[in-house]
Amino acid sequence: MSQSVAEESELVRRVARGDQEAFLELYERYAARVHALTLRILGDSMLAEEATQDTFLKLWSRARQYVAARGSFLTWLLTIARHTALDRLRLEGRRPLLSCEDDPEETWNSLPDEQTASDEARWRSLYFAVRALPEEQRQVIELAYYGGLSQSQIAEVLGWPLGTVKTRLRAAMQTLRAQWLPQKDENPKGAL
């Protein structure tokens, strides 16, 4: 374990014990990154600031849940931020049309009335195809298409090399094309 990772883990342990100085240290280190992610998802600086504050409140109350062996602290924190921002979108009534975290029945019911039965069937098919992807591939799809992040931003959020993100995104798209497009032969090429 590198010195910075060990130091970070120690700060998180101190936050779990209620150490405000350790909390402030983590806030100073990561608030800008959390805010950048929430702003990218929400598109509104006031909402992003609220989501950033909510993220750090969750850090304060959930620090004991962090397990260093599962991944970096930054990845864990940005995952909390991403979920917080998506929750904020739902509260504001401005949510993505389809998110892998949504209840499919709720999503289908929220589609405009002019959506046809075949459109609904296609959305269901896509929803389940994305849900069936391996976790790493699903993460990059969610961050890219639902979170609106670039490949470089995804690499930063997940703590992966850019090449890994590109490979997993390409593999996910190939899997989705193979599973989903054959069912949609009425759509033009490049629809997905």
Overall fold of domain 101-192: Arc Repressor Mutant, subunit A (1.10.10)
What is the rounded CA–CA span in Å between residue 191 and residue 53?
38
Confidence of residue 94 (pLDDT cuts 50, 70, 90): low
Asked if 141 and 169 count as a contact pair (C-beta separation under 8 A), the reply is yes
**Residue ranges of the chain assigned to CATH 1.10.10.10:** 101-192
Asked if 96 and 146 count as a contact pair (C-beta separation under 8 A), the reply is yes
In this prediction the pTM is 0.53
**Residue ranges of the chain assigned to CATH 1.10.1740.10:** 1-95
What is the rounded CA–CA span in Å between residue 143 and residue 35?
15
Q: Which tens digit of pLDDT belongs to each residue from 13-58?
A: 999 999 999 999 999 999 998 998 888 788 888 989 999 999 999 9
Q: Which tens digit of pLDDT belongs to each residue from 106-141?
A: 444 444 444 445 556 666 777 778 878 898 898 888
Asked whether the predicted pLDDT for residue 105 surpasses 50, the reply is no
* Structure letter (DSSP) for residue 181: G
- The average pLDDT across 3-12 equals 84
Helix (H, G, I), strand (E, B) or coil at 72: coil
Domain 1-95 has what CATH class?
A: mainly alpha
